[in-house]
A and B are shown apart, each in its own frame.
Chain A
Amino acid sequence: MTAGGQAPAGRAAAGRAPAVEAPPAGPGLPAGRGARLALTALRGSRRFGGPVAAVAVGIALVVLLQGNGFTSTLVLDMLVYAIAAMALDFLGGYAGLISLGQAGFLGVGAYGVAIAEVHFFSPWAAVGVGLGAALVLGLALGIVAVRVRGVSFVIITLAMGQVLWGLAFQWVGLSEGDNGIPLTILPSIGPFDLNDPLTLRMTVLAVFAAVALLLVTFVHSPFGLSLRGVRSNETRMAALGYRTGLHCYLAWVIAVFFTGVAGVLYIFVNQLISPATMAFSQDGLLVIMVVLGGLRSIWGPALGAVVIVLFQQELSIYVSRWQTLMGLTLIAVVLFSPGGLWGLVRAAGRRRDALIARLEARPGKRGGR
């Protein structure tokens, strides 16, 4: 039992491990030395756990992306879908507007790049067109979409996604139909050349990190708080002077734009865009990523994207019925951790904080006697 107290406080996982053993061990120790060590470890994990974990994940990603093999392709796919899932959670988790058409907007970003490159032969202009198309479409469709809430919003975004998918599928003159459009030349400027696989991978990682940090900043801002307010009680928000429709609209535009960013990266990574990427099943997968990872946390959906892409690409090699397993996993998570996978992380953090409070209270009591 003393092993718990001797664990170093360095890493989040290591700091959390003794937490479970400390309470039974603590009272038995003569001088409370074990308890003190555990307290130090726990406090260390509370203070440095987040940053240390982030750095560790960052280093791991950089290392995984070095190779040319299957693993780095897998990680790239995870990062691209993580961006789309985080954007969807910004809208769905915080503002309460679950969109079932996000794969369509991802496709718009990708098709924008591909079609522009076919017509203009300038990779950078193509990037501009891809991002611009997502932004303009977001601005235009948002006027219609945010007029409704709840199930109506889900249905209207589903319809939008299906219209976009239908365009990609049937407007053969523009989209090449079912065959899709390949992308052969990626943008480059000076030594920065996205045609170099390693540069591309690091760029995707950097964009993922930037989008994640931006969204985390957004949700902690007064605007992010206002979205939670709208989801919680829109009538009251109006009485407090908020033009709630405008807040929903802005959240929608941000989400659609970042989904477009994911789309641009998608075609860079896959070098092909076809209607299959925008299919309804992909809309559903994005929502599943968000719910599985945890609504109302930016990191949760990223985790959800990792798990779903793993299921889709890794597990499907070994298990033909991987979708059944995915469904069962989703049911289990929704039943036992409504906050998703990230909800488990949060719960662990809360348990740790409660434990710290208990350990901190103990010496005081003793001194009182």
Chain B
Amino acid sequence: MTAAPSPPAGPPALAADHLSRRFRGVTAVADVSLRVAAGARFGIIGPNGAGKTTLFNLLSGELRPTTGSVALFGRDITALRTYRRAALGLGRTFQITRIFSDLTVLENLTLALHGLSPSKFSLLRPWRSYRAKMAEAAELAASFGLAQRLAALASDLSHGEVRELEVLLALALKPRVLLLDEPAAGLSPAERVDIQALLTSLPAELTLVMIEHDIDVLRGVVDSAAVLHLGSLVTQGTMRDIQNDERVRELYLGGAAARVPEILALEDSPPPGTSPPREAGPAQEAGPPPDPASPPDPAPPGAGDQP
């Protein structure tokens, strides 16, 4: 089950092998196996509570799997902690944004730029005197329209700018594999275009795995995807396969209301037929008025949530 369009030369960039995670009897992720080829653009789709974020936390090291293993470029990283995985080139963003809100944008980016450098232990030199890193921070900010906001406190940023900073923090580490947890959640259509432009401009060798509800954002960026439902893998394949898959249609269109009432209960979706033939469910997250056709995925209640 390789996700890349062309057969990969080496080991997969990221592989999950029979990953499971239980929280007090609730199985958030159940026996999920994935292989993401180097350089692939891979999407993870699923309704609320499907276990997408838990899966991400297992991949990035925030959570330990109950069973199963994770490998990065063929190396087993299951036992490694988050900071070690980051050093090996695994970067991630967070669905519920995790920026340093009481620091300025410049300080946020500087922290990210020192993250994998021994200079993070430097005590005697002011961080502002690292000219190369200061220039790099300015460049990063400029690449995403935050050039004028370097001195602003991160807590003063707009929701869209916070999302941008969230992605920039991960990119600053120059990861080889980047996990993006709903980078476009709660963004206005215009801001979505910005995010999409940034994502498509990323270097081709970067392996991208993203959770996203907005199929439009996904279609432009990813070439294959996996569908999760109640912690289990429903299917994976190319985007075309996914969109034509009967089970996925049932999950997303609400046409199978009788068969999957739990999803409707979770998503509180409108009756079948009123929503466009994509995914259903109103926005449940504060922020700019979201596109009704592409609701953000708030923290999955209970099972999929982080502890």
State yes or no: do A and B come from one complex: yes
Residues of A participating in the B interface, judged by any CB pair closer than 8 Å? 217-218, 220-226, 228-229, 232-233, 235-244, 250
The 4 A-B pairs at the shortest CB distance, nearest first, are namely A240-B115, A241-B115, A241-B86, A238-B82
Answer whether residue B54 sits at the interface, using C-beta atoms and an 8 A cutoff.
Answer: no
Nearest chain A CB to B70's CB is how many angstroms away? 15
User: Quick one: which of B72-129 are within 8 Å of A by CB?
Assistant: 81-83, 86-87, 91-92, 94, 98-103, 107, 110-112, 114-116, 119-128
- Residue of B111, B124, B125, B170 ringed by the most chain A CB atoms within 10 A: B111
Answer whether residue B173 sits at the interface, using C-beta atoms and an 8 A cutoff.
Answer: yes
Q: In the bound complex, do residue B107 and residue A240 qualify as a contact, i.e. CB atoms below 8 Å apart?
A: no
Bound complex: CA A226 to CA B98 (Å): 15
- Residue of A236, A237, A242 ringed by the most chain B CB atoms within 10 A: A236
A225-B127 contact in complex given A235-B98, A239-B86, A239-B92, C-beta closer than 8 Å: yes
- A selection of 15 A-B contacts at a CB cut-off of 8 Å is A221-B126, A222-B120, A222-B127, A222-B130, A226-B114, A228-B100, A232-B102, A235-B94, A238-B86, A239-B98, A239-B170, A240-B83, A240-B111, A241-B83, A242-B83
User: Quick one: which of B127-156 are within 8 Å of A by CB?
Assistant: 127-128, 130
Q: In the bound complex, do residue B111 and residue A220 qualify as a contact, i.e. CB atoms below 8 Å apart?
A: no
Answer whether residue B62 sits at the interface, using C-beta atoms and an 8 A cutoff.
Answer: yes
Answer whether residue B69 sits at the interface, using C-beta atoms and an 8 A cutoff.
Answer: no
Known: A220-B127, A240-B115. 8 other contacts (CB 8 A): A222-B120, A225-B103, A228-B103, A229-B103, A239-B170, A241-B86, A242-B115, A242-B120
Minimum CB distance partner of A226 in chain B? B120
Residue in A221, A235, A242, A243 whose CB lies within 8 Å of B122 = A221
Within 8 Å CB of A225, what residues of B? 103, 107, 110-111, 114, 127
Q: In the bound complex, do residue A240 and residue B169 qualify as a contact, i.e. CB atoms below 8 Å apart?
A: yes
Q: In the bound complex, do residue B123 and residue A223 qualify as a contact, i.e. CB atoms below 8 Å apart?
A: yes
Minimum CB distance partner of B81 in chain A? A238
Answer whether residue B224 sits at the interface, using C-beta atoms and an 8 A cutoff.
Answer: no
A240-B173 contact in complex given A222-B122, A225-B110, A226-B111, C-beta closer than 8 Å: yes
A233-B98 contact in complex given A238-B81, A240-B86, C-beta closer than 8 Å: yes
- Residue of A217, A218, A237 ringed by the most chain B CB atoms within 10 A: A237
Residues of B participating in the A interface, judged by any CB pair closer than 8 Å? 60-62, 81-83, 86-87, 91-92, 94, 98-103, 107, 110-112, 114-116, 119-128, 130, 169-170, 172-173
Within 8 Å CB of A228, what residues of B? 100, 102-103, 107
Nearest chain A CB to B80's CB is how many angstroms away? 11
Residue in A218, A222, A239 whose CB lies within 8 Å of B82 = A239
A222-B86 contact in complex given A235-B62, A236-B169, C-beta closer than 8 Å: no
Minimum CB distance partner of B112 in chain A? A240
Within 8 Å CB of B115, what residues of A? 237, 240-242
Bound complex: CA A218 to CA B127 (Å): 10
Nearest chain A CB to B93's CB is how many angstroms away? 8
Bound complex: CA A228 to CA B103 (Å): 8
Minimum CB distance partner of A243 in chain B? B83
Q: In the bound complex, do residue B83 and residue A244 qualify as a contact, i.e. CB atoms below 8 Å apart?
A: yes
Within 8 Å CB of B86, what residues of A? 238-241
Bound complex: CA A236 to CA B98 (Å): 6
Minimum CB distance partner of B94 in chain A? A236
Q: In the bound complex, do residue A237 and residue B111 qualify as a contact, i.e. CB atoms below 8 Å apart?
A: yes
Q: In the bound complex, do residue B83 and residue A217 qualify as a contact, i.e. CB atoms below 8 Å apart?
A: no
Nearest chain B CB to A231's CB is how many angstroms away? 8
Q: In the bound complex, do residue B103 and residue A239 qualify as a contact, i.e. CB atoms below 8 Å apart?
A: no
Bound complex: CA A217 to CA B128 (Å): 12
Q: In the bound complex, do residue B98 and residue A221 qualify as a contact, i.e. CB atoms below 8 Å apart?
A: no
Bound complex: CA A250 to CA B112 (Å): 20
Nearest chain A CB to B4's CB is how many angstroms away? 25
Bound complex: CA A148 to CA B122 (Å): 24
Within 8 Å CB of B83, what residues of A? 238-244
Bound complex: CA A260 to CA B111 (Å): 30
Within 8 Å CB of A241, what residues of B? 83, 86-87, 115-116, 173
Bound complex: CA A38 to CA B277 (Å): 67
Nearest chain A CB to B33's CB is how many angstroms away? 24
Bound complex: CA A243 to CA B120 (Å): 10
Bound complex: CA A229 to CA B82 (Å): 16
Within 8 Å CB of A218, what residues of B? 123-124
Bound complex: CA A242 to CA B45 (Å): 30
Within 8 Å CB of B172, what residues of A? 240
Bound complex: CA A222 to CA B126 (Å): 7
Minimum CB distance partner of B98 in chain A? A236
Q: In the bound complex, do residue A223 and residue B121 qualify as a contact, i.e. CB atoms below 8 Å apart?
A: yes
Q: In the bound complex, do residue A220 and residue B126 qualify as a contact, i.e. CB atoms below 8 Å apart?
A: yes
Bound complex: CA A236 to CA B116 (Å): 13
Within 8 Å CB of B112, what residues of A? 240
Within 8 Å CB of A222, what residues of B? 110, 114, 119-122, 125, 127, 130
Bound complex: CA A237 to CA B82 (Å): 9
Q: In the bound complex, do residue B98 and residue A217 qualify as a contact, i.e. CB atoms below 8 Å apart?
A: no
Minimum CB distance partner of B116 in chain A? A241
Bound complex: CA A225 to CA B122 (Å): 10
Residue in B60, B61, B101, B124 whose CB lies within 8 Å of A221 = B124
Minimum CB distance partner of A217 in chain B? B124
Nearest chain B CB to A135's CB is how many angstroms away? 16
Minimum CB distance partner of A232 in chain B? B100
Bound complex: CA A229 to CA B112 (Å): 10
Nearest chain A CB to B238's CB is how many angstroms away? 29
Nearest chain B CB to A77's CB is how many angstroms away? 29
A217-B123 contact in complex given A225-B107, A229-B100, A238-B86, C-beta closer than 8 Å: yes
Bound complex: CA A263 to CA B158 (Å): 48
Nearest chain B CB to A146's CB is how many angstroms away? 15
Within 8 Å CB of B61, what residues of A? 238
Bound complex: CA A241 to CA B81 (Å): 10
Within 8 Å CB of B103, what residues of A? 225, 228-229, 232
Within 8 Å CB of B125, what residues of A? 221-222
Within 8 Å CB of B102, what residues of A? 228, 232
Bound complex: CA A304 to CA B202 (Å): 51
Bound complex: CA A267 to CA B90 (Å): 52
